[in-house]
């Protein structure tokens, strides 16, 4: 069984499309098709079917996908490790980041890194959902992800680099502006709330905190992205719950921010790497530029 056939099959399933897989690994669509057909002949079974969602694996294809992922990840690690024996940091670091960090903090991390290592290229994908980032890291689609601390880390290791307080933000003309007492969960739950859409880690955490205290908040609007959320708050459609990352980047004359870390806790952001991954020199240097102490970075995660 040849590695390039496994690679073609793996990306066909990951992309749910032969043409997208071909574009991903820089081969022709007919080459991908032939590789998968050759595997089916070699293994004596059908490996995928077509559906409304594109290409989906058969049960036998699921089993092969499991082994293909392990084999291809090991090959990537082997190539990286031996390249490091005789070279400076080089190549391309593939990165997936939560959209807030990708907008506000990642550019400065990359600038610090590029100052020291201009020969290393970076490929950055901005993601909406943390689950997308964790899946991309676990599958080997990217070397490193940046996501929030409000996640369950099963197949990856998390290295925190930033931590922020949480805030309720309101319009500038709101009864809470200027009051000195701490807000309670009950008070917040009674307000019309504008929250991130379901599926995001911050929304999952906020919902869990309310549920833990037996509260059913008045979520009047769900919206994706802080800029849209901020505008909804600014014009008086409700209040929201956000991290200090967004407050730091916003002008104080557009919305009012009230600390609520005592209710929701701090929100951290950090790098995630697949467990068992070899940390190349380029990846190590990127982690240091992001704020991870060198002594915290093992040769193999």
Domains of the chain by start residue, with CATH: 3-83 (1.10.10.10), 87-163+268-296 (3.40.190.10), 166-265 (3.40.190.10)
Give the residues of the chain that fall short of pLDDT 50. Answer: none
Per-residue burial over 242-258, b if 16 or more Cβ lie within 10 Å, else e, is bbbbbbeebeeeebbbb
Per-residue pLDDT, 7: 85
Per-residue pLDDT, 236: 94
Per-residue pLDDT, 133: 93
Per-residue pLDDT, 83: 62
Q: Which two tokens stand for residue 119?
A: 């020969």
Q: State CA 154 to chain mean position distance.
A: 14
| DSSP code of residue 6 | H
CA distances to 89, 144, 287 from 85, rounded to whole Å, are: 11, 21, 20
The reply to whether the predicted model has a pTM over 0.85 is no
Question: Partners of 237 in the beta sheet?
Answer: none
Q: Which two tokens stand for residue 77?
A: 């690690």
Per-residue pLDDT, 87: 55
- Residue 138 main-chain phi, psi, to 5 deg: -65, -35
The burial class, CB within 10 Å (0-12 / 13-18 / 19+), for 133 is buried
Per-residue pLDDT, 144: 96
Per-residue pLDDT, 77: 72
CA distances to 113, 121, 287, 292 from 109, rounded to whole Å, are: 6, 14, 9, 11
Q: What is the largest CA-CA distance in the chain?
A: 72
Per-residue pLDDT, 60: 86
């Amino acid at each position: 069984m040849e590695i390039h056939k496994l690679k073609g099959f793996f990306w066909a399933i990951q992309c749910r499309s032969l043409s997208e897989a071909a574009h991903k690994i820089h081969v022709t669509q007919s080459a991908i098709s032939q590789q998968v057909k050759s595997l089916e002949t070699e293994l004596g079974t059908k490996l995928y079917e077509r559906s409304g969602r594109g290409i989906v694996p058969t049960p036998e294809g699921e089993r092969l996908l499991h082994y293909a992922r392990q084999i291809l990840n090991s090959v990537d690690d082997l190539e990286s490790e031996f390249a490091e024996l005789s070279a400076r940091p080089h190549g391309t670091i593939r990165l997936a980041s939560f959209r807030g960090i990708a907008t506000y903090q990642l550019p400065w991390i990359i600038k610090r890194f590029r100052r020291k290592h201009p020969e290393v290229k970076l490929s950055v994908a901005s993601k909406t959902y943390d689950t997308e980032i964790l899946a991309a890291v676990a599958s080997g689609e990217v070397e490193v992800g940046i996501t929030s601390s409000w996640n369950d880390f099963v197949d990856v290791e998390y290295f925190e680099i930033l931590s922020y307080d949480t805030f309720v933000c309101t319009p500038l003309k709101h009864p809470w502006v200027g009051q000195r007492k701490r807000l309670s969960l009950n008070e917040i739950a009674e307000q019309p709330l504008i929250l991130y859409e379901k599926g995001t880690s911050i929304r999952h955490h906020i919902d869990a905190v309310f549920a833990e205290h037996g509260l059913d908040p008045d979520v009047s609007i769900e919206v994706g992205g802080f800029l849209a959320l901020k505008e909804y708050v600014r014009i008086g459609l409700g209040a929201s719950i956000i991290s200090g990352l967004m407050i730091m980047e916003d002008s104080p004359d557009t919305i009012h921010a009230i600390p609520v870390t005592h209710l929701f806790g701090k929100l951290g952001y950090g790098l995630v790497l697949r467990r068992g991954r070899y940390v190349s020199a380029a990846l190590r240097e990127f982690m240091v530029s992001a704020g991870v102490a060198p002594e915290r970075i093992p040769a193999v995660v």
